[in-house]
Each structure stands twice: as structure tokens, then as C-alpha cells.
């Protein structure tokens, strides 16, 4: 199988590793010569280009699977909306006719529920954050450009917050220094370990049949207080402190729902390596210097 990854970053590189270990060939788009060098060391064939530059995409090969997992580089000149919506449209216009199956990485930020209710693939999407609105608009682009051409072979994975090695460095320093955290400590967090997120994408790519939409989250949502208390115990820091002035703003931003991933577990990944933070946080902390 030949896999093309657009956005071979924190998640994409782990998915690439799984595919190469399974004997698939992997090509990845990158804007950086340094990244291209690193990708080669991982057994990935790099192609230099930019999602905002269609001419640079003509060198992309045909593929059995496209994994689109582009994040926003805050140092880039293009806005998040430009990259997520317009960049996706540009890539799909170029590569869709040459790809058999397409997987788009979205986010549970498309759900605006903030009262602690459970959400799944059937729940209404009324995002209250700009990031959520951008993700929902990008999903619409993906559906409009793939639904008819790739029936049953175009899939959206709405990921909960990804954690894992290298993702907690700033937070652990903040906690060690007893700096207050913003947000409501009793609001719910939905998480997925990066290795399980990568395994889900790989499973979706090879599934004989798969739905067009999945919520990808671990087995147990946790409150912010529980999550950061667990981090503090692992790093030997005092219990977390929260800024009461920021709690009201956090409650109204759509970050207090609970995500149900029953469909994902039924169709793609019955067993997670890290089903809840009691399994995954120690691994993340131990390897936090790893990128």
C-alpha cells in the first residue's frame, strides 16, 4: 500500500511509522528541508511543497490512502482559516482524482456543548470557538469534494485533545512553578493518546468498511482538576492551582462536553493501548523530551 501524508507532524509521523513497519511505502509533504531530511531517516519519502501553493503539489504521487492531518504553524503568514479551509480545498482539487481512500483529521471542537453533556457522531455541531468553526467549515469542504467521488472511502476523524511524549513540557514547568491554570477545574476534558490516534487512522485506512465519521477519544473523560492533579503527582509538583477569574470564560467556550467513541471502538479500534490517563500519562511524562 502507498500512503500519502499531508501534515506529517506529531500525529502524522506516528502513523507513518506504523505504516512503514507494516511494509507500506509512505510519502509526506513538507515545507522544510530539515523536516525532509528527518523524514528520510524515518523511511518516509519527502516531497517539498505547501498546501497553499497548488503548483508545488503537482509532484505528489498517486496513493492508495491520503491522510490529511495539517496543523496550523503560528509562525506562517497564512491564517488558520486559510490553511485549514482553503489549503484543504487546494490539496483535494489536486490529489483526490489520484487517491483511492481519504482520511481527514478534524477535532471535537466542532461541538459547542458546554454543559457536560455526552456527544457522539449524531450530536449537533454548533461550535462557539473560532477554531471549532474553522474545523467545521473544513469538514464541509472535505465532504463536498469527496462524498460523490469516493463513496464509502472518505472519512472524517474528530479527535479529542491529543497528548503524549513532548506535549506536556510547558504545562509541567507551569505546574512546578505553581503558576495558576486558566479555566474551570471541574470542566470535562476529552483526550486521546497520540499512539492510539495514529492506530485509529491506520485502522481506518485498511478497514473493509468504515463510516464516514468517527469521534476519536479514550474511554473516560476527566475533569481538568483530575488531569492536572495526576500530572502533578507524576512530576512531584504541588497540587494544581486554578485562576478563578478565567473560569467563566472557559465554561462558555465549548470545552465542557464528554465525548463518546463507541462507534470508533466498534468499527476500528476495539482496544486502546491507553484507554484512560491512568495508563497514558506516565508514558507521556517519561518521554516528554521526545518529539
Q: What is the DSSP letter of 45?
A: E
Domains and CATH numbers, the chain: 2-286 (3.40.50.720)
pLDDT tens profile 226-236: 999 999 999 99
pLDDT tens profile 25-62: 999 999 999 999 999 999 999 999 999 999 999 999 99
Q: What is residue 286's predicted lDDT score, i.e. its pLDDT?
A: 85
Across the strands, what pairs with 275?
A: none
- Angstrom distance (rounded) from CA 167 to CA 64: 31
From 65, 72, 78, select the one nearest 28 (Cα to Cα): 65
Of all helices (H) and strands (E), which one includes residue 281? helix 277-286
pLDDT over threshold 70, residue 247: no
Q: What is the mean pLDDT of the segment spanning 182-190?
A: 92
pLDDT over threshold 70, residue 82: yes
Confidence of residue 250 (pLDDT cuts 50, 70, 90): very low
pLDDT tens profile 132-152: 999 999 999 999 999 999 999
| Sheet strand arrangement including 25-30 | 45-48, 25-30, 2-6, 63-68, 99-107, 154-159, 213-216
Confidence of residue 287 (pLDDT cuts 50, 70, 90): low
Confidence of residue 72 (pLDDT cuts 50, 70, 90): confident
pLDDT over threshold 50, residue 252: no
Q: What is residue 209's predicted lDDT score, i.e. its pLDDT?
A: 92
pLDDT over threshold 60, residue 120: yes
Sign of CA dihedral 79, 80, 84, 85: negative
Helix 224-235 and helix 277-286: axis angle, to 10°?
40
Asked if residue 232 lies in contact with residue 238, where contact means CB atoms within 8 angstroms, the answer is yes
Grid coordinates representing 147?
462524498
Average pLDDT across the chain, whole number: 93
Helix 194-206 and helix 10-21: axis angle, to 10°?
50
Find the distance separating the first CA and the last CA of the chain, reported in whole Å: 26
pLDDT over threshold 60, residue 289: no
Asked if residue 2 lies in contact with residue 24, where contact means CB atoms within 8 angstroms, the answer is yes
pLDDT tens profile 272-286: 999 999 999 999 998
Amino acid at each position: 500500500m502507498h500512503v500519502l501524508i499531508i501534515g506529517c507532524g506529531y500525529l502524522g509521523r506516528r502513523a507513518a511509522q506504523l505504516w512503514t513497519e507494516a511494509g507500506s511505502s509512505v510519502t509526506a509533504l513538507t515545507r522544510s528541508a530539515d523536516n525532509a531530511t528527518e523524514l528520510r531517516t524515518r523511511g518516509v519519502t519527502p516531497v517539498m511543497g505547501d498546501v497553499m501553493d497548488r503548483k508545488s503539489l503537482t509532484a505528489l504521487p498517486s496513493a492508495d490512502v491520503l491522510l490529511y492531518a495539517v496543523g496550523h504553524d503560528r509562525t506562517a503568514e497564512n491564517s488558520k482559516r486559510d490553511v485549514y479551509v482553503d489549503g484543504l480545498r487546494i490539496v483535494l482539487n489536486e490529489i483526490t482524482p489520484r487517491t483511492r481512500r481519504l482520511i481527514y483529521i478534524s477535532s471535537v471542537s466542532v461541538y459547542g456543548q458546554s454543559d457536560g453533556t455526552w456527544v457522539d457522531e449524531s450530536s449537533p455541531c454548533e461550535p462557539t470557538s473560532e477554531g471549532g468553526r474553522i474545523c467545521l467549515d473544513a469538514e464541509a469542504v472535505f465532504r463536498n469534494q469527496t462524498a460523490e467521488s469516493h463513496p464509502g472511502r472518505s472519512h472524517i476523524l474528530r479527535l479529542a485533545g491529543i497528548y503524549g511524549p513532548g506535549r506536556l513540557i510547558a504545562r509541567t514547568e507551569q505546574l512546578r512553578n505553581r503558576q495558576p491554570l486558566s479555566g474551570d477545574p471541574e470542566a470535562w476534558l476529552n483526550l486521546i493518546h497520540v499512539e492510539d490516534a495514529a492506530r485509529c487512522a491506520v485502522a481506518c485506512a485498511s478497514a473493509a468498511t468504515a463510516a464516514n465519521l468517527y469521534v476519536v477519544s479514550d474511554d473516560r473523560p476527566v475533569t481538568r482538576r483530575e488531569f492536572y492533579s495526576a500530572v502533578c503527582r507524576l512530576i512531584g509538583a504541588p497540587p494544581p492551582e486554578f485562576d478563578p477569574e478565567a473560569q467563566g470564560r472557559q465554561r462558555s467556550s465549548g470545552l465542557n462536553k464528554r465525548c463518546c467513541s463507541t462507534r470508533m471502538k466498534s468499527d476500528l479500534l476495539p482496544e486502546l493501548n491507553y484507554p484512560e490517563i491512568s495508563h497514558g500519562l506516565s508514558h507521556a511524562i517519561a518521554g516528554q523530551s521526545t518529539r
